[in-house]
Structure 1
Amino acid sequence: MQATGWGALPMLAVMLPVLAMVVALPLGARRAERLTLAMLPAGLALAIGTAVAVQVGGAPVVHLLGHWSPPLGLAFRADGLAAAMLLTAAVVIGAVAIFARADFGTKAGQPERREAFAFWPLLLAVWSAINLAVVANDLFTLYVALELLTFAAMPLVCLDGSRTTMEAALRYLMFALLGSVLYLLGVALIYGACGTLDITLLARMAPDQPAVILAIVLMTVGLLAKTALLPLHLWLPPAHAGAPAAASAVLSALVIKGSFVLLLRLWFGVMAGQPMPGAAQILAGLGAAAILLGSVAALREARLKLLVAYSTVAQIGYLFLMFPLLASVAADSQVAAMAWSGGAVQAVSHAFAKAAMFLAAGIMAARFGHDRIVELGGAGRAMPVTLLTFGLAGLSLMGVPPSGGFAAKWLLLSAAIGAGQWWWALVVLGGGLLTGGYVYRVLASGLRAGEGAPDPAPIAWQRDGVALGLAVISVVLGFLPLAAFGLVQVGRLGVLP
């Protein structure tokens, strides 16, 4: 593997928030907030630069740490999928940081709070961890990224220190640690069998030893626990629903995507020569169960934030429908390209839509003093922009044209039919109808007249505007021509030279 021009961009995208986090820790809450906000434009510029470099060059950008090539050294490799996720993370983190100033900001003359002191360094840590998780090309470095992601995200769940959120955070930690143990055991098995942990080198070896197969199984189970795919999803609803709105948005939009990207690198990078179509059908079956059961749970939920959390369980399932479609066809076929693009666009559009939805839910809960769905009557009059945000994000999750969710689900549906696996197309259609059901519940309740509704208040653009902007992005993605999704095809796993 050779270093490429502009290869330092993804490395800087990882290092910038790490350095900012280290500097922010001794500064206190007020200065940590200012430092975080100051880093946002630089981080966004690095993400845009990486995406442009990948798109224009038509190949991944690579940076060799210390100028040593693998297996002696470590490499950062930003392909099209990594570039898209870097850009998504930069936008979502930036929006959440601006939104969070109302809850975790420290105004002049006010004393600093413990929650604010913790929030800003943790947000920077999550940003650096997700960036590392998508650009690292070494299985052990990816383990470090997963651990940093876990131990940065877990405290965000229990910032208020209540018993309920502490229990949710501990449950999250137990599942995450189980996943880490299984993943690390798999790393040891692969290194013992192959003598390297670099994904590109492993893909060219096409390892088929029993030890490697066992390692992939263990690592897959561990990563499924971190991704919260059913039935390993039990930690997600209480953790996401109990966290502050800004933290919930980051957790649902970004944190679970790190382990998912790593799964793709395992299955279609390390095991590029061993597609395992039978096992891929099992993963998609779990994804289909998550779509259906998660949507039904959301339909029955009485609390708004729990409804949005169960919606995350359901939407995660769509990501796994791409596995059997990629494993059953030629890696360079049009069907494989559609399946890959569908999964990538689903990950990106879900990140924007779900971040917007959690922020909107947090605004409504703060204004009403509760998040009981049946008692949200009058929300349309008191906070029309917030309800509009929820509705737009819901349209994308449903897959209503011309949203980003529609583009993703249309690509997955077309790939399923092209691969002769029409049953996954039925799952996509059924999941969209169920999503429409629980989104309609919230909108219908909000548009109904209510006695306990708060009085209309001036629109707080720092919060309402940010949430609406994310929802609009999730919809605008659907207006892009399919050729615009060619970025995620650059350096696609499974078709490495």
Structure 2
Amino acid sequence: MPWVVMAVALPFAGMLLALPLGRHAHRLAWAVLPSGLAVSVLLVVQVWRGGETVAYAIGGFAPPLGIALRADGLSALLVLTTALVVCATGLFALAEFRPPSAEREARASVLFWPLLFALWGALNAAFLGGDLFNLYVALELLTLAAVPLVSLEGKPETFAAALRYLLFALLGSVLYLVGVALLYGAYGTLDIALLAGAARSEPAAWAAGALMTAGLLAKTALFPLHLWLPPAHAGAPAAASAVLSGLVVKASFYLLVRLWFDALPAVAHPEAATLLAALGTAAILFGSVLALRQERLKLAVAYSTMAQLGYLFLMFPLTGGPTEAQPWSAGAWNGGILHAISHAFAKSAMFLAAGLILEAVGHDRIAGLGGIGRALPMTVFAFGLAGLSLMGLPPSGGFIAKWLLVTTALASGQWWWAVPMLAGGLLAAGYVFRVLNPALAGADEPVALRRPVPRRRQAIPLVLALLSVLLGLLPLGPYRLLWVGRPTAAEEGLG
């Protein structure tokens, strides 16, 4: 079976096997997690060595009659990023979602693993799907897995947050699906490769693109459609928060990139790209200020997610447009995607670190974390290391990503986009050091931990934080993976 198919099939097979296993589902993680990681590595190697998109027609029926899975450099790299974060989160969750043999089955322990595997499969289906309708199906499967993870602990406030998340997700789904129907009615196909050659700049395509973009923005929680994200991500268990913030919101952004650059390159307008970047700018500033004002650690990290997502939308005007690639387009493309990947590692690390602090001291009030750095040095170090990427300090991946975006803004004559990026870095330093200051300061009395935190669990967020930093130390060669399978117009600007 091709690796592109295995990447989707394996997590869903794990979900189906986990359901009847009940309290023993956690044992399946020891097989599914490393196997899924190995498949993602092999897929990246296949794309890298081949130097072209890997495609597979399901059932042997080629589009438009059949459905194709496609892995280019971007999708393969996101599949690998997803595997790394899910594997780290799964190892972290083994201690929390593994009921002792003497206790009765707990709902959270039984449901977490099927939901995690379903979420993994849905993410891979979204990254590898080549058909706009089947991407809609992947998004719906992602929602069905993500919403229960928010309310897994059964608290009233998490139920409210999950319901708000569900309402925004359904709104986004309806808008996206109406746009898909318009495109099918106008062009008779939903395959991305075929649609790119058929779609023209006309009212039907404009309306479809606008509706689908609005729906995906609601799922990505871009300002001002962000109201569901902070309570959902902050209220979920730490392992769930890590995948929600690090991965789930990236899927809808990825679909937006596919829609603009691959499916409808002739339809996108510079004015629309400017609007997306303006909303991204508002997200950076507004989210950072709100993160600075939070009293709870997980809420501060959740609002920083809203802020960091804003950087992703600055790549739209900086690339020069889907059909007007410029010499500087490579910097914007590399910077935007590298930021998405480094943010996935950094934010997952921060949520896992925040979860360990909450577990150890029984609360996550920032003012009450005095001296926690001495009690949990590895955890606090991981939090600070991940913060380097959010602030954009060298040598982190976040630094390289933001440097590429800033230099692209200056080279393209769009210097005004550099201002919110630099301001966002300063604000990020504010909310990161607002946590580190009391954590590293001396306390009148040693911090009393409610329960000890094993070093092996503290090592997991540290590894993720290190990955977000090591991305900034990679040579430029691997970045060419991001260009494999790009449309001709993009390749001219990226070469």
TM bin, normalised by shorter chain, reads: over 0.9
1:3-402 correspondence to structure 2 within 5 Å: 8-30=2-24, 32-328=25-321, 331-402=324-395
| Cα distance, 1:459–1:50 mapped onto 2, change above 3 Å | same
SS of equivalent to 2:56: strand
SS of equivalent to 2:55: strand
Q: What is the CA-CA distance between 1:483 and the residue it aligns to?
A: 2.4
SS of equivalent to 2:69: strand
Match of 2:458 in 1: 464
SS of equivalent to 1:62: strand
Q: What is the CA-CA distance between 1:363 and the residue it aligns to?
A: 0.7
Does the 8 Å contact 2:187/2:199 carry over to 1?
no
| Cα distance, 1:162–1:277 mapped onto 2, change above 3 Å | same
Match of 1:3 in 2: none
Q: Distance in 2 between matches of 1:21 and 1:329?
A: 37
Does the 8 Å contact 1:98/1:462 carry over to 2?
no
Q: Distance in 1 between matches of 2:406 and 2:50?
A: 30
Question: RMSD of aligned C-alpha atoms?
Answer: 1.6
Does the 8 Å contact 2:183/2:208 carry over to 1?
yes
Matched to 2:21, the amino acid is: L
Q: Distance in 1 between matches of 2:312 and 2:487?
A: 16
Does the 8 Å contact 2:266/2:323 carry over to 1?
no
Does the 8 Å contact 1:288/1:318 carry over to 2?
yes
Match of 1:473 in 2: 467
The one-character-per-residue Cα deviations of 1:289-336 (angstroms, maximum 9, x if unpaired) are 000110000011111000000000000000000011124486554311
Does the 8 Å contact 1:154/1:172 carry over to 2?
yes
Q: Distance in 2 between matches of 1:330 and 1:21?
A: 41
SS of equivalent to 1:63: strand
The one-character-per-residue Cα deviations of 1:185-226 (angstroms, maximum 9, x if unpaired) are 000000000000001111122422211110110010000000
482, 487, 492: which one pairs with 2:486?
Answer: 492
Does the 8 Å contact 2:360/2:452 carry over to 1?
no
Q: Distance in 2 between matches of 1:394 and 1:155?
A: 28
Q: What is the CA-CA distance between 1:106 and the residue it aligns to?
A: 2.6
| Cα distance, 1:202–1:298 mapped onto 2, change above 3 Å | same
| Cα distance, 1:259–1:329 mapped onto 2, change above 3 Å | closer
Deviates more, 1:365-374 or 1:182-191: 365-374
Q: Distance in 1 between matches of 2:96 and 2:355?
A: 11
395, 399, 421: which one pairs with 1:428?
Answer: 421
Q: Distance in 2 between matches of 1:446 and 1:391?
A: 10
Does the 8 Å contact 2:52/2:72 carry over to 1?
yes
Matched to 1:269, the amino acid is: D
Q: Distance in 2 between matches of 1:107 and 1:174?
A: 36
Q: Distance in 1 between matches of 2:488 and 2:363?
A: 48
Matched to 1:484, the amino acid is: P
Q: What is the CA-CA distance between 1:494 and the residue it aligns to?
A: 6.4
The one-character-per-residue Cα deviations of 1:33-64 (angstroms, maximum 9, x if unpaired) are 11123111111111111111111111111111
Q: What is the CA-CA distance between 1:274 and the residue it aligns to?
A: 3.1
398, 403, 410: which one pairs with 1:405?
Answer: 398
| Cα distance, 1:330–1:202 mapped onto 2, change above 3 Å | closer
The one-character-per-residue Cα deviations of 1:361-409 (angstroms, maximum 9, x if unpaired) are 1111111111110110011111111110100000011110110101111
Deviates more, 1:8-17 or 1:232-241: 8-17
Deviates more, 1:412-421 or 1:91-100: 412-421
Matched to 1:440, the amino acid is: F
Does the 8 Å contact 1:329/1:335 carry over to 2?
no
Q: Distance in 1 between matches of 2:348 and 2:248?
A: 12
Gaps of 5+ in 1: 1-5
Q: Distance in 2 between matches of 1:327 and 1:149?
A: 31
Matched to 2:169, the amino acid is: A
Matched to 1:118, the amino acid is: L
Matched to 1:427, the amino acid is: P
Matched to 1:466, the amino acid is: I
Q: What is the CA-CA distance between 1:227 and the residue it aligns to?
A: 0.2
Does the 8 Å contact 1:229/1:317 carry over to 2?
yes
Q: Could you tell me the TM-score, scaled by structure 1's length? A: 0.96
Matched to 2:127, the amino acid is: V
Q: What is the CA-CA distance between 1:424 and the residue it aligns to?
A: 0.9
Q: Distance in 2 between matches of 1:494 and 1:210?
A: 25
Q: Distance in 2 between matches of 1:479 and 1:60?
A: 27
Does the 8 Å contact 1:375/1:452 carry over to 2?
no
Gaps of 5+ in 2: none
Does the 8 Å contact 1:99/1:466 carry over to 2?
yes
| Cα distance, 1:485–1:491 mapped onto 2, change above 3 Å | same
